Amino acid sequence: MRKTIKNRFFLIALSLLLLIGLTACSSPESKSETVEKAPKTETKTEKKTETKSETSKETPQKITNEELPNVSIIATGGTIAGVAASDTQTTGYKAGEVAIETLLDAVPEVKEIANITGTQLVNIDSSAMTNEVLLKLAKEVNKQLASDSVDGIVITHGTDTIEETAYFLNLVVKSEKPVVLVGAMRPSTAISADGPLNLYNAVAIAASPDSKGHGVMIALNDKIGSARDTTKLNTTAVNAFDSFEYGDIGNVQGSKPYFYNKPSRIHTSESEFDISNVTELPKVEILYGHGNDSRVLVDAAVKGGAKGIIHAGTGNGSVFPETQEGLVDAQKKDVVIVRASRVATGMVTHEATDDTNKFVTSDSLNPAKARILLMFALLQTSDPVKIQSYFDKY
């Protein structure tokens, strides 16, 4: 009898369990959960596509403290938004993978020193930077700075061409408000990623009223460098950037920027260059001088439609004899020739032969920045004398 009762209880319990299981499988809630799982995958796909988009997209954040300055962050990609396969990988990673929202989430402390808004302009490796993107960025910066609701701008950028973009903006930004470019030498996934602190320091600089009037700045490794004089000197080290010939203009200590120098050359609001209505920039090529050189690349540049050539010569901008002949012939075809140097420091002096050949000299600008200035100069004139005056004062 007892055995029969036990068997009955067992069968009843088993039947109830089966009934509950069938009910759960067919219940609306279970179906809802199943349906809800699919959009999660879609959301991830959408987010990934978003990070690679080159369409300017603003991420609005409500201003919560009227006592804090308003800083706009414009994201363009680079190592600071890079992702690697492991947290020990600091080379061979993918740059421009992380969106502005994720960058800001990694440094929530910035919201304690400024009201933050973010714009994803592009998300690219800075080695892929183009004139079109530079023009788009410069116009966006000028548009935002014209608003009373923006006190300063931070631009996240890859370090490969950050100095070129900084100098580009230094020549066309029409405001004394601070504009700070920031990058990183290690991807966001690295154990000791330098991006978060660099970003925090950049916001601190852009938020400080002491930063006005210093031109466009570069913030890396606790240093504040001028757009004109800061350059990359190491391929992978965290302290890759320096302006050792003329000195940094300041540094960041304890979340506060300290300034000790000011750029002496014309910049930003004092610059005569205006890209408001510019849609295309003149083509300027850089040629690297060396022993046993030739005129082949000079002739190719001219044939390719170059309006200007920066020759990165040896020593004090010296040119191989055959290359010199090619440059002289190019100048006769109204191609502006600028003698620069492949040497890291020092100025290229202007000689009597430059006047004879109608060449321009780069002063202390490196070849990459000389290209930037020549593009803007060519928008104004093709006269070598006038263009030389630009190199003497910018």
Residues annotated as part of the active site: 79
Contact residues for 242 (Cβ-Cβ < 8 A; gap 6+): 223, 225, 230, 231, 233, 248
- Cα(363)–Cα(341) distance, integer angstroms: 10
Helix (H) / strand (E) containing 285: strand 284-288
- Check if the beta carbon of residue 203 is closer than 8 Å to that of residue 114: yes
Strands lying side by side in the sheet with 284-288: 284-288, 308-313, 336-341, 360-361
Specify burial of residue 328 (Cβ count, 10 A radius: 0-12, 13-18, 19+). middle
In the chain the first and final C-alpha atoms are separated, in Å, by: 106
Q: Amino acid identity, residue 337?
A: I
Q: Where are the alpha helices (DSSP H) in the chain?
A: 2-26, 28-52, 100-106, 131-145, 162-172, 195-207, 296-303, 321-332, 352-357, 367-380, 384-393
- Cα(97)–Cα(297) distance, integer angstroms: 36
151: tokens are 């006190």
- Check if the beta carbon of residue 137 is closer than 8 Å to that of residue 74: yes
Give buried/exposed letters for 154-179 (b at 16+ CB in 10 A, else e). bbbbbbbbbbbbbbbbbbbbbbbbbb
